């Protein structure tokens, strides 16, 4: 009986997303009604942030194709110094700003832009951690990895999280990137790579 209650507590209400851990643990985020928006599950987020461990503290993060911003907000909750969220849907970006405001978050920027166009511009900062979770149907992984590998975007030893449909081909990682972790959960494959410059 107690176990059932615990499981029910963990489940997020429809249209909402729960922060897993950190300063904002268990806080709920609204999910924008945008076709194809697919928040990263709490189970995958828990594994990812276990992988990142202490590296997350004081990290500067880039949340590409941010959608709900679940990954970047989780990073801020767990001690990241700053996060840049890049999201091309104005509605998703508006809901993301609202969620960040409700948390009294600081040290973030929400950029309404296509991820490829954003990375095609001169680098705005060197990021320690990048969350790369484009819509599965867009098939953008190879292009975004290539653009990220251009000088100026990644700090030495940066970590790049990649999420894709398990049926998709493995992304072609740039020559100086190395795969550290690779798992599947349901229909999702997720990986962590490092960039050595």
- Provide, rounded to the nearest whole percent, the portion of the chain with pLDDT above 70: 92
Whether the predicted pLDDT of 2 surpasses 50: no
Residue 187, pLDDT score: 92
170 — pLDDT class (breaks 50, 70, 90): confident
Residue 9, pLDDT score: 44
Residue 36, pLDDT score: 77
Give the least confident one: 1-10, 25-34, 66-75, 155-164: 1-10
> For 98, phi and psi rounded to 5 degrees?
-65, -45
Mean pLDDT in residue range 85-107: 95
5 — pLDDT class (breaks 50, 70, 90): very low
Residue 124, pLDDT score: 82
Mean pLDDT in residue range 53-60: 92
Number of domains in the chain: 1
The predicted-structure confidence for 100-134, as pLDDT tens digits, reads as follows: 999 999 999 999 999 999 999 999 889 999 999 98
Residue 39, pLDDT score: 84
The predicted-structure confidence for 145-166, as pLDDT tens digits, reads as follows: 999 999 999 999 999 999 999 9
Residue 16, pLDDT score: 85
Whether the predicted pLDDT of 197 surpasses 70: no
- Which range of residues forms the domain containing residue 130? 2-195
Q: What is the CATH number of the domain that holds 54?
A: 3.40.50.150
Report the chain's mean pLDDT, rounded to a whole number. 89
Residue 35, pLDDT score: 80
How would you list the strands of the sheet with 188-195, edge to edge?
108-112, 82-87, 60-64, 127-132, 154-165, 188-195, 177-185
């Amino acid at each position: 009986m107690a176990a059932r209650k615990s499981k029910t507590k963990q489940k997020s209400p429809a249209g909402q997303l729960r922060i897993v851990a950190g300063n904002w643990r268990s806080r709920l985020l609204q999910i924008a009604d945008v076709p194809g928006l697919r928040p990263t599950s709490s189970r995958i987020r828990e594994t990812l942030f276990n992988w990142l461990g202490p590296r997350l503290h004081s990290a500067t993060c880039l949340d590409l194709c941010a959608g709900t911003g679940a990954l970047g907000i989780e990073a801020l909750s767990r001690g990241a110094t700053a996060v840049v969220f890049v999201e091309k849907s104005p509605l998703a970006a508006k809901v993301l700003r609202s969620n960040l405001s409700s948390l009294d978050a600081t040290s973030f920027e929400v950029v309404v832009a296509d991820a490829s166009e954003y990375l095609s511009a001169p680098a705005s900062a060197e990021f320690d951690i990048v969350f790369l979770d484009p819509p599965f149907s867009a098939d953008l992984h190879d292009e975004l990895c290539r653009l990220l590998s251009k000088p100026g975007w990644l700090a030495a030893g940066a970590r790049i999280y990649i999420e894709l449909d398990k049926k998709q081909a493995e992304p072609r990682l740039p020559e100086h990137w190395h795969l550290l972790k690779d798992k599947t959960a349901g229909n999702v494959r997720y990986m962590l790579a490092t960039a050595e410059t």
